[in-house]
Copies of this chain bind each other. A is one copy, B any other.
Amino acid sequence: MVTYSVPLKEMNFLLNDVLDVGEHYGRLGYDLGPDDIMPIMQEIAKFAEKEVHSISRSGDVEGVHFEDGKVTLPKGWVESYKKFAEAGWNSIEGPTEYGGQHLPATISVPMSETLASANACWGMLPGLTTAAVETLVAHGSDKLKNQYLPNLISGQWFGTMCLTEAHAGTDLGMIRTKATPIDEETYSISGEKIFITGGDHDAVENIIHLVLARLPGAPEGTAGISLFVVPKININSDQSLAEPNKVTCSSIEHKMGIKASPTCVLNFDGSKGYLVGQANKGMTYMFTMMNTARIGTGIQGLGIANAAYQGALEYSRDRIQMRSLTGIKAKDKPADPIIVHPDVRKMLLTQKALIEGSRALSYYGASLVDLSRHSKNKDEVAQCETLLALLTPVIKGFVTEVGNECTSHALQCFGGHGYIGEHGIEQLARDARITTLYEGTTGIQALDMLGRKVLMTQGQSLKSFTYIIHKFCEAHKEDDVLGTMVKALSAKNKEWGDLTMKIGMNAMANKDAVGGAAVDYLMYSGYVSLGYFWLKMAAAAKVKIDAGEDLKFAKAKLETARFYFDRILPRTLSLASTLVADIGSLMNLEEDSFGLDV
């Protein structure tokens, strides 16, 4: 199996040298400074490497069990989850008044990445509860908060998101689950939900479902959806457990990957539920949960890719096959390690460049979360919210797409040995494949970005980011080391705006131009964004070099930035062409002409 070690030095570089997040902590009311980040990360790294990574492959092989309506996790999972909660890790982000530690997203996001790398399924356990906590914090009544938050935050209970029904996935407006009022605060919930991650399992004593349902007479579509808390086991006013609620798990899915994560069909059969916030506002509330889950999914894609990269790198150094075309490199061996071959290097550097760039983007996203939640400066909050809205679909959509690409390259580095279970790399490829599907497919992320975030604001949200890039380019355009790359980025940054205008014009003639361009636009945006973050990293590396610090690390950053600009950023050339391609050749073919034998 591939070994995994947490990239602590890289995390420290990003958080302190590139993003300088420690500077924010004091004024955002966090009780920690720049020097506190690494000690926390070191502890979670130990836990992840020792307790979580060791049960990843066995969890995949054993899978989840379903018997007599009950789900049990693979061997060792419940124990490690309890250790995690007891050590206080589950509570790092929650508000202090409910027992949380109020640590920033710039700590919890690297922690999520670490857990996803160590064991993608395991990392989903705390991840989902966090999303439920945030939703209740933002929209729940004090009564609901008092009843549910302490045990969710401590990890004694677990939270789920119950959105999807068999006929309603992307199109949540079609859900049919019903909520009938019983008394002023209690509702009877009936319906079937599918694809519920962690819908049932044995790691916790209670599971708190957040369920979308319709009240009687509610408007059609998404305007008539409300959000309810539905516990698996009813609770008394002192939060002790009462009798079971009428929620049953009728089956679990057999999936391509994430086999140790239970994906449940849940039946609500007159279950007791409690309205969150106001009636018919469920979709809005659910977006609080979904935005957190989307960033979490991007981080999961990043984490899996990073684990795969570490495996591929180790294998490429050990495996000897053929000689280098430029002369023997390992004279004492019958062949050279395959890392000497340019195509293997290209696959490895592609992974390295995409992963480190995606990490910088994602951690930047986390810093925006911190600022938008806790800054006292209203303009700053508004600015960060705009940027976060723009970049969340990039972190979810783009990072998971390139994460899948990286995982596939990693597998390819192993040759045929990557296809067998032994090294654990094929598991990572199967696990990674879910990340572009759940929490909104890549197509949905792309429409959200291009349609809702960019075009509906007449490009204003995009400008808030391209302006930052522009300022960076202006400040560094004469730099002796970065100059050439800065000019390339500057041109792309301008092109980004121009292409957006063109799509806007195309969309006025034909609304389908938005959908036709969306995914290419998302990917284009991702590559340009990573270009910016690579130069941010390169600039921070240059500071280190000038100071004579960490020379090897800093030089590797500069070399990888060059690789990114030479071999990855040019992907925008094709995308710039296809995202404004003629809409006719995409939309004209009649539906019954798609079949091969029309």
Q: Which residues of A contact B (CB under 8 A)?
A: 5, 7-10, 164, 167-171, 174, 195, 253-257, 263, 306, 309-310, 313, 317, 320-322, 324-326, 334-335, 337, 339-349, 352, 356, 404, 408, 411-412, 415-421, 426, 429-430, 433-434, 436-438, 441-443, 446-447, 510-516, 518-519, 552-553, 555-556, 559-560, 562-563, 565-567, 570-574, 577-578, 581-598
- B585 & A419 in contact (Cβ 8 Å cutoff): no
Q: Taking CB as reference atom, which chain B residue is nearest A518?
A: B343
Task: Report the separation of the CA atoms of residues A326 and B506 in the bound assembly, to the nearest whole angstrom.
Answer: 13
Q: Say which residue of B335, B415, B516 sits within 8 Å of A342 (CB atoms).
A: B516
Q: Say which residue of B436, B567, B573, B598 sits within 8 Å of A573 (CB atoms).
A: B573
- A7 & B597 in contact (Cβ 8 Å cutoff): yes
- B9 & A597 in contact (Cβ 8 Å cutoff): yes
Query: Nearest-CB distance from A468 to chain B (Å)?
Result: 26
Interfacial chain B residues near A195, Cβ < 8 Å: 416
- A511 & B326 in contact (Cβ 8 Å cutoff): yes
Query: Nearest-CB distance from A290 to chain B (Å)?
Result: 14
Q: Given A343-B443, A574-B570, A594-B313, are A335 and B585 also a contact pair (CB < 8 Å)? A: no
- B589 & A10 in contact (Cβ 8 Å cutoff): no
- A433 & B419 in contact (Cβ 8 Å cutoff): yes
Further contacts, 16 of them, CB under 8 A, given A174-B321, A342-B516: A168-B321, A171-B320, A171-B335, A254-B421, A324-B512, A325-B512, A325-B515, A326-B512, A342-B514, A342-B518, A404-B408, A415-B437, A419-B437, A429-B433, A562-B582, A566-B586
Q: Say which residue of B171, B408, B518, B571 sits within 8 Å of A574 (CB atoms).
A: B571
Interfacial chain B residues near A325, Cβ < 8 Å: 511-512, 514-515
- A348 & B594 in contact (Cβ 8 Å cutoff): yes
8 A–B contacts, CB within 8 A, in A order: A171-B335, A317-B591, A326-B512, A337-B591, A343-B443, A346-B516, A552-B592, A566-B578
Q: Given A586-B563, A598-B553, are A256 and B574 also a contact pair (CB < 8 Å)? A: no
Task: Report the separation of the CA atoms of residues A408 and B7 in the bound assembly, to the nearest whole angstrom.
Answer: 30
Q: Given A310-B596, A416-B169, are A573 and B563 also a contact pair (CB < 8 Å)? A: no
Query: Nearest-CB distance from A515 to chain B (Å)?
Result: 3
Which of the listed residues A7, A9, A421, A574 has the most CB atoms from chain B within 10 Å of its own CB? Answer: A574
Interfacial chain B residues near A447, Cβ < 8 Å: 343
Interfacial chain B residues near A433, Cβ < 8 Å: 408, 411, 419, 426, 429
Interfacial chain B residues near A335, Cβ < 8 Å: 171, 174
Which of the listed residues A254, A309, A342 has the most CB atoms from chain B within 10 Å of its own CB? Answer: A342
Q: Given A10-B597, A342-B515, are A321 and B430 also a contact pair (CB < 8 Å)? A: no
Q: Say which residue of B310, B442, B560, B572 sits within 8 Å of A412 (CB atoms).
A: B442
Q: Taking CB as reference atom, which chain B residue is nearest A594?
A: B313
Q: Say which residue of B340, B349, B429, B585 sits within 8 Å of A567 (CB atoms).
A: B585
Q: Given A512-B325, A567-B586, A598-B556, are A421 and B255 also a contact pair (CB < 8 Å)? A: yes
Which of the listed residues A326, A341, A586 has the most CB atoms from chain B within 10 Å of its own CB? Answer: A586
